[in-house]
Structure 1
């Protein structure tokens, strides 16, 4: 995704979150990442200080790992900031 497209995406997400939730709110992040413990740890580290509940599950063949993170976020901008932090993890897909 180009920088311009990603900024448009994040702006739409911000508006949607503002319209559909009361903040602070519990938010569920879902990511798929190649099964590589360093990459999984990188995602865990991003949410480590937030009191997040983190669950992970390997795919049937073990090539990918889904990571679900439930955490209380202060506002839509905080949600988007975490997505941007995770986006630097190589091979990650945000759902």
Structure 2
């Protein structure tokens, strides 16, 4: 995603989160990751220490893994920070 689109996306997301939730709030992240244990471990490390519930499910062919993370976040900015951290991992798709 180019930086301008990325900036607009996060601005819109922050606005939506502010309008639809009271903070702190439970938030569900969903990512699609190539089925490589080190990539899944990187995502888990980003949410380590936050009391996150992490559920993984491999695709039928085993090529990709769905990673769902439910965690209580303090603010829309905190939600966006985690998206940005996960975004540095190559091949990860945020849903």
TM-score, with normalisation over the residues of structure 2? 0.99
Q: Once the 2 structures are TM-superposed, how far is the Cα of residue 90 of structure 1 from its aligned partner? A: 0.8
CA separation in 1, counterparts of 2:89 and 2:40? Answer: 9
Q: Which runs of 5+ in 1 are unaligned?
A: none
Corresponding residue for 1:91?
Answer: 91
Calculate the aligned-residue CA RMSD, in Å. Answer: 0.4
Deviations 1:45-64 (A, max 9, x none): 00011110000000000000
Matched, 1:39 2:39: yes
Partner-residue secondary structure (3-state), 2:49: helix
Deviations 1:30-73 (A, max 9, x none): 00000000000000000011110000000000000000000000
Q: Which runs of 5+ in 2 are unaligned?
A: none
Matched positions, count: 95
CA separation in 2, counterparts of 1:85 and 1:65? Answer: 18
Corresponding residue for 1:66?
Answer: 66
Q: Once the 2 structures are TM-superposed, how far is the Cα of residue 76 of structure 1 from its aligned partner? A: 0.1
Partner-residue secondary structure (3-state), 1:31: strand
Partner-residue secondary structure (3-state), 2:47: helix
Q: Following TM superposition, where does structure 1 have runs of at least 4 consecutive aligned residues deviating by more than 3 angstroms?
A: none
